[in-house]
Amino acid sequence: QVHLVESGGGLVQPGGSLRLSCAFPGSIFSVWPMGWYRQSPGKERELVAHISRGGSTNYADSVKGRFTISRDNAKNTVYLQMNSLKPEDTAVYYCNTFPFVREYWGQGTQVTVSS
């Protein structure tokens, strides 16, 4: 059973930065593209960014130029560097494969952008 744990969330002022991390089992990380997703209250979970095994990236329009997804293949870890954060980025952030596997959802990490 896969148990993903996201970390790095917190409370930050508008314009601030956070870096999220998520470690995967090696058997999954070496095979799948990885993604970061988020869910705000009252909204459906949405894809924020994804990265291929080779490092190609893709972003939601709302975060382009501000967020950067990366992966460390030696550590089986995927990161999300979030800069210039806005109040509308407030959400619970989740990692998963891309496309996601329902059984892999973890608890997520809360990101709150507020002054």
If DSSP states are collapsed to H, E and C, what string results for 73-91? CCCCEEEEEECCCCHHHCE
Residue count of the chain, please give it: 115
**Stronger pLDDT, 2 or 76, i.e. the higher one:** 76
pLDDT, one tens digit per residue, over 54-92 is: 999 999 999 999 999 999 989 999 999 999 999 999 999
Residue with tokens 């490092």, as numbered in its chain: 55
By CB atoms closer than 10 A (0-12, 13-18, 19+), residue 82 is buried
Which pLDDT does position 93 carry in this prediction? 98
Which pLDDT does position 86 carry in this prediction? 98
Which pLDDT does position 3 carry in this prediction? 79
The encoded tokens of residue 83 equal 């800069």
Mean pLDDT value across the chain: 95
* SS3 state of residue 14: coil
23 φψ region: left (φ > 0), alpha (ψ -120 to 50), beta (else): beta
Q: How confident is the model at residue 27 (pLDDT cuts 50, 70, 90)?
A: confident
Which pLDDT does position 25 carry in this prediction? 87
Helix, strand, coil % over all residues of the chain, rounded to 5: 10, 45, 45
Residue 1 has pLDDT above 80, yes or no: no
Q: Are the C-beta atoms of 112 and 90 separated by less than 8 Å?
A: yes
Lowest mean pLDDT among 4-8, 42-46, 96-100: 4-8
* SS3 state of residue 28: helix
Which pLDDT does position 12 carry in this prediction? 98
Residue 19 has pLDDT above 90, yes or no: yes
